[in-house]
Amino acid sequence: MNEAELKAQRNKALANYELKKMLARSGRVSAQEVEEARRIWEALRDYKPTEAARPIVATVPDPPAPKPPDSAVVVPAMAVDEFTRLIEDLTIERHEAHKQMCMRSNRLADYPDDQNVKDLVDEIQEWKRKRNEVAEKITFLRNNGRLPEPMPAQAAERSPEVPESAFLANLPADRYELNKLLVNSLNPKLYRAKQGLKNAKLEIWKAHYQKEVAKCQAAVDLAKSQLSALA
């Protein structure tokens, strides 16, 4: 990607940003879409291409610099087209996480004050965490020209899920109440997770909903098993 191509990318992003602003005045796009277009434009405006992407000028080569130790290796910035694609994909992911968080937050008003909405609040916090994680990736990418290093496997695999024994201990001992829990809570959560997986387009959301389906299915199976035991 040379300077001319980078300039074309910048012009395209700027034109898209100006178009979004114009459409926003007539209410045809949201403020969120305008903000996303602005972020993409600013990321490209501030992006510095790698030396390999700059025009090559014939010159006498300098003596090779000593190779730094492994701990000091600097990861080169990525190509402009890859940078643009990542910025756009991450922006979409952040917008989706924010939308899911807001949808669940709005549902809080539908519940009476005395109803336990811990599950819904947990979902809101989870989507908020995902939104913030993606936002941090975008900031890191814009500042460093690359994505942050992945988390250590052990840290990434930690999960706050409730153990099976604790879940069983918290199930109602009354058959009627247990069936009510299945019908009003566990089955709808499983259905929503399956619908989310069915509609997911990006890999990050497919992975999220696959995990949710597995967790909800396990809860339903345990509750049904307990229900049979109470028969």
Distance CA 76, CA 52 (A): 10
Q: Does the structure show a pLDDT above 60 at 47?
A: yes
- Who has greater pLDDT, 80 or 24? 24
**Per-residue pLDDT tens for 53-110?**
444 444 445 555 555 444 443 344 567 777 787 788 888 888 888 888 898 889 888 8
Query: Residue 52 above 50 pLDDT?
Result: no
- Give percent above pLDDT 70 in the chain: 77
User: Which range has the worst mean pLDDT, 34-43, 119-128, 154-163, 201-210?
Assistant: 154-163
Tell me how far apart the alpha carbons of residues 167 and 86 are, in angstroms, rounded to a whole number. Answer: 39
Distance CA(45)–CA(43), nearest Å, equals 5
Instruction: Answer yes or no: are the C-beta atoms of 223 and 207 closer than 8 Å.
Output: no
Q: Quick one: pLDDT at residue 150? A: 64
130-151 pLDDT per residue, tens: 889 888 988 888 888 787 776 5
Residue 117 pLDDT:
83
The secondary structure of 143-167 as a DSSP string is HHSSPPPPPPHHHHH---PPPHHHH
Residue-level pLDDT at 64: 53
